[in-house]
Amino acid sequence: MVRLGAIDSPPKTPCILGLECAGEVEAVGEGVENFKVGDRVVALPEFKAWAELVTVPAKYVYHIPDEMSFADAAAIAINYIVAYIILFDLASIKPGKSVLLHSAGGGVGQAIVQLARTVPNVQVFGVCSKNKHEALKAGGLIDHLLERGSDYTNEVRNLMGDTLSTCHHERATLKKLLVSPGGKIKPTIDSTWALEDVAEAMQKMHDRKNIGKLILDPAMEPKPKPATPAKGKAKAKKEASEEKNGEKEKK
């Protein structure tokens, strides 16, 4: 959305994008008491996350458990916060209810599916591109998959059947769902990319080909680029001469 300019007050270009990152603390600013060099953290900078080194105010930095990987931490940060707000604060999801979820194969979509499964007897209808159905069926977390762009309204009505009864459900905190024994949620990671390959990664997401989160890893080697065939000297000289003559004719 930032890349397309579809948000309010986008950053001025040129800029470094990225709103979430995870790694080890390399330096601590004056007056910071809760963190030390070497701490494993996840952070929410205001952009600039797609880099090897990021400076973030301490209030937007959070410790992560030793057993949690940096990839999982980065995949959890914004996706699961957004999903949690949508499900529990805005939709007030309760046992026995149904969820109609658009973009079910995306990072936030997969987070919503997993969080919805922590509430008893919730039925999930997922809308996504047809090419994602097979992979999402294998995951077994979505009850009914509907094709993106289809008339899914009537299909949902036909599938609804009887309404399930509701019962009391104690809302768990997001932290408990993520890190408590037996209650840990595993984020869905589609693929991991080198920083230099970010354009290809973004294109995959733009084309709706990902299932879950795409991760950038600064330590990862970029994909080898196809070699450009070298032109012969005579051919290069001829092309240069033709280009020069063409410019003269324009003048």
Digit-coded pLDDT (tens) for 12-42: 888 899 999 999 999 999 999 999 999 999 9
Mean pLDDT across 88-100? 90
187-231: pLDDT as tens digits: 899 999 999 999 999 999 999 899 999 999 999 999 998 776 655
Pick from 106, 51, 77: which is nearest to 185 by CA? 77
Q: Does 58 score more than 50 pLDDT?
A: yes
CA 60 from centre of chain: 19
pTM of the entire predicted model: 0.77
- Measured distance CA(64)–CA(35) in Å, rounded: 12
pLDDT for res 73: 93
DSSP string, 58-107: GGGEEE--TTS-HHHHHHHHHHHHHHHIIIIIIS---TT-EEEESSTTBH
Angle at the Cα of 232 from the Cα atoms of 227 and 233, rounded to 5 degrees? 125
Average pLDDT over residues 80-93: 91
CB-CB contact of 220 with 192 (8 Å): yes
Tell me the torsion sign for CA atoms 154, 155, 156, 162: positive
Cβ(154)–Cβ(178) below 8 Å: no
**Beta bridge partners of residue 227, listed in sequence order:** none
Q: Give residue for tokens 């309404």.
A: 163
Q: Please say if the pLDDT value at position 173 is more than 70.
A: yes
Tell me, what DSSP letter sits at residue 21? E
Task: Extract the tokens encoding 56.
Answer: 């973030």
CA distance 71 to 106: 16
Q: Which of 14, 89, 74, 84 is nearest to 41 (CA)?
A: 74
Give the helix/strand (H/E) hosting 108. helix 107-116
DSSP conformation class of 152: H
Name the percent of the chain lying above pLDDT 70: 82
For 141-151, the pLDDT digits (tens) are 899 999 888 87
Q: Which 3 state secondary structure label does DSSP give 191?
A: strand
